[in-house]
A and B are shown apart, each in its own frame.
Chain A
């Protein structure tokens, strides 16, 4: 009876054997041949995989509007973009160079009350959730809670959060958001203009304990210099160099062992550290009986003095582009 059979009349177990071996795009085209095959294939396409996104970039270009730029390296995950159309104001697909990549831009009215907030996805795995540094959504009053609700059901591997001198007062609202999305790695991008007074907020023991309790294992501090990074006040050398090291000490003592400190975060480009500024810190952390992975990018004067001092304490200090000039770019990794 099978000899003149049409494919749509095949028993389900035979169809399933074929569908399993069909590439994604062939399954899409096969749906369009008849109702029966469409009914058999569509649930496979829509329910087969959870949403895996490489990247979400969140912008606030206008006061009442959020723009989410999303990208996935797996075309199958893009099926979840289709469901966004029901809930989001405007969804537009973007062209991608890579055939397997899919991207879209979503416009979303900034919710004005908690009841309006709907999660973007039912569930999704997001490699990088990034707040745009040019048009950032600052996490001031209630915004971290808003993100928590938008990303309800999602896991975020790495989050990038932009902080300025106003939103830093709401820093304590960040750890609950990181906890909700199971984020273990967070980058704080420090915005101009006056960033030195922001350091104590990050050094606050309650904030750091909350970060650890949220499950954060890696912290990165970086800076965004677009638009200029001018401090409006003069600060002492001690303020400039000791406060950041106190911050690193507090993080290490709380149990965060992977830290990256970019020179652009709490230092201006013209700042020069002396070996004395760093030696005490390096010797302290070298004495700790924990494995640390700390990267500090800084301009250091007389770097060779610092290297000799650290090595005398048995720690490993790697430097890049060290030229023994008064200004030296350093990358330092301490491991013990």
Chain B
């Protein structure tokens, strides 16, 4: 069975029921609209409006979901040996996200957050975290379009607060 999803720019996507169910948000909306896998009429007569997702972003979300539709449910976050939270991004996911600039990653992340697709959300969060990793503050600011409004005195004060933790 298929489910119709309608984006903010009125584009209709017809997706497999399993893919639609990967989104907690869509799943809840289907329940609210009494749409069930065994009731084709309910699926055909209804469409799910997704006003916070554009056509371009929805296409990317569906591409990710297609790839992961047969994944076993898993604990998304793991703690490494130092007790740090990490998320393992698969090679396919790295490839999927590698050409996205920060702005596009954020669009996709916003959609994953709205649609409640935890795996995609964590993949993107980890990708951005990896982009930040090991960089100096000015490099981070440049990479992520951040305008630094801190004075040197403020920076000094911030460092002082957690001086004991710094490398």
Interface residues of A (CB under 8 A from B): 2-8, 10-11, 13-14, 17-18, 20-26, 28-35, 37-38, 42, 45-46, 74-76, 78-79, 81-82, 93, 99-100, 102, 104
Contacts of A28 in B (CB 8 A): 162, 165-166
Beyond A17-B124, A79-B164, 8 additional pairs, beta carbon < 8 A = A3-B103, A3-B104, A11-B113, A17-B121, A31-B158, A33-B148, A74-B83, A78-B165
Instruction: Flag if B103 contacts A30 (CB, 8 Å).
Output: no
Instruction: Flag if B164 contacts A18 (CB, 8 Å).
Output: no
Task: Tell me, yes or no, whether B33 is within 8 Å of chain A by CB.
Answer: no
Nearest to B154 among chain A residues (CB) is: A35
Tell me the minimal C-beta distance from B141 to chain A in angstroms.
4
Task: Tell me, yes or no, whether B74 is within 8 Å of chain A by CB.
Answer: no
| Given known A-B contacts A3-B107, A18-B125, A82 and B162 have beta carbons under 8 A apart | yes
Instruction: Flag if A22 contacts B132 (CB, 8 Å).
Output: yes
| Given known A-B contacts A38-B158, A79-B164, A81-B164, A22 and B129 have beta carbons under 8 A apart | yes
Task: Tell me, yes or no, whether B32 is within 8 Å of chain A by CB.
Answer: no
- Cross-chain pair count, CB within 8 angstroms: 133
Tell me the minimal C-beta distance from A14 to chain B in angstroms.
5
Task: Tell me, yes or no, whether B135 is within 8 Å of chain A by CB.
Answer: yes
Q: How far is the CA of A20 from the CA of B158 in the complex (A)?
A: 20
Interface residues of B (CB under 8 A from A): 77, 82-87, 102-104, 106-107, 109-110, 113, 121-122, 124-126, 128-129, 132-138, 140-141, 144-150, 154-155, 158-167
Contacts of A25 in B (CB 8 A): 166-167
Contacts of B141 in A (CB 8 A): 33-34
Q: How far is the CA of A34 from the CA of B3 in the complex (A)?
A: 44
Nearest to A93 among chain B residues (CB) is: B164
- Cross-chain contact of B165 among A5, A10, A35, A102 (Cβ < 8 A): A102
| Given known A-B contacts A8-B146, A81-B164, A32 and B83 have beta carbons under 8 A apart | no
Contacts of B121 in A (CB 8 A): 17
Contacts of A24 in B (CB 8 A): 84, 165
Tell me the minimal C-beta distance from A125 to chain B in angstroms.
14
Tell me the minimal C-beta distance from A272 to chain B in angstroms.
48
Nearest to A22 among chain B residues (CB) is: B129
Most chain A Cβ neighbours within 10 Å, of B145, B146, B155, B162: B162
Contacts of A21 in B (CB 8 A): 77, 85-87, 122, 125-126, 129
| Given known A-B contacts A21-B122, A81-B164, A26 and B133 have beta carbons under 8 A apart | yes
Contacts of B86 in A (CB 8 A): 21
Q: How far is the CA of A35 from the CA of B154 in the complex (A)?
A: 9
17 residue pairs from A and B, CB less than 8 Å apart: A2-B106, A4-B145, A6-B147, A14-B106, A14-B109, A17-B113, A20-B77, A20-B85, A21-B86, A21-B129, A24-B165, A26-B132, A26-B134, A30-B140, A31-B137, A33-B144, A81-B164
Contacts of A6 in B (CB 8 A): 144-147
Tell me the minimal C-beta distance from B115 to chain A in angstroms.
13
Contacts of B159 in A (CB 8 A): 32
Nearest to A8 among chain B residues (CB) is: B146
Contacts of A22 in B (CB 8 A): 129, 132-133
Instruction: Flag if B162 contacts A79 (CB, 8 Å).
Output: yes
Instruction: Flag if A5 contacts B134 (CB, 8 Å).
Output: no
Q: How far is the CA of A34 from the CA of B113 in the complex (A)?
A: 24
Instruction: Flag if A30 contacts B110 (CB, 8 Å).
Output: no
Nearest to A7 among chain B residues (CB) is: B144
Q: How far is the CA of A26 from the CA of B166 in the complex (A)?
A: 10
Instruction: Flag if A82 contacts B164 (CB, 8 Å).
Output: yes
Q: How far is the CA of A38 from the CA of B102 in the complex (A)?
A: 20
